[in-house]
A and B are shown apart, each in its own frame.
Chain A
Amino acid sequence: EAGVAQSPRYKIIEKRQSVAFWCNPISGHATLYWYQQILGQGPKLLIQFQNNGVVDDSQLPKDRFSAERLKGVDSTLKIQPAKLEDSAVYLCASSLQGTATNSPLHFGNGTRLTVT
Chain B
Amino acid sequence: GDSVTQMEGPVTLSEEAFLTINCTYTATGYPSLFWYVQYPGEGLQLLLKATKADDKGSNKGFEATYRKETTSFHLEKGSVQVSDSAVYFCALTEDSGAGSYQLTFGKGTKLSVIP
Contacts of A43 in B (CB 8 A): 44, 89, 103, 105
Given contacts A42-B4, A56-B102, A108-B43, contact A101 B108 (CB under 8 A): no
In the complex the two chains form, what is the Cα distance from A3 to B43 in whole Å? 10
Contacts of B89 in A (CB 8 A): 42-43
Q: Are A109 and B43 in contact (CB under 8 A)?
A: yes
Q: A42-B107, A101-B51 are in contact. Are A56 and B43 (CB under 8 A)?
A: no
* B42, B93, B99: the one within 8 Å of A101 (CB): B93
B42-A109 in contact (CB<8A)? yes
- Closest partner residue, chain A, to B90 (CB atom): A42
Check B18 for interface membership: any CB of A closer than 8 A. no
Size category of the A interface is: 20 to 34
| Bound complex: CA A44 to CA B104 (Å) | 7
* Complex CA–CA separation, A20 to B102 (angstroms): 23
Closest Cβ–Cβ distance, residue B105 to chain A (whole Å): 3
Q: Which of B41, B91, B99 contacts A42 (CB 8 A)?
A: B91
A contact residues around B34 at 8 Å (CB):
100
A110 to B104, CA, bound (A): 18
Q: Contact check, A56 vs B98: say whether CB atoms are below 8 A apart.
A: yes
Question: Taking A56-B96, A100-B32 as contacts, is the C-beta distance between A105 and B101 under 8 angstroms?
Answer: no
| New A-B contacts (18) at CB < 8 Å, excluding given A99-B101, A107-B44 | A41-B107, A42-B91, A42-B104, A42-B106, A42-B108, A43-B103, A50-B99, A55-B99, A98-B100, A98-B101, A100-B34, A100-B101, A101-B49, A101-B93, A104-B46, A105-B103, A108-B43, A109-B43
Residues of B with Cβ closer than 8 Å to A?
Answer: 4, 32, 34, 41-46, 49, 51, 89, 91, 93, 96, 98-108
Q: Which residues of A contact B (CB under 8 A)?
A: 3-4, 33, 40-45, 48, 50, 55-56, 91, 93, 98-101, 104-110
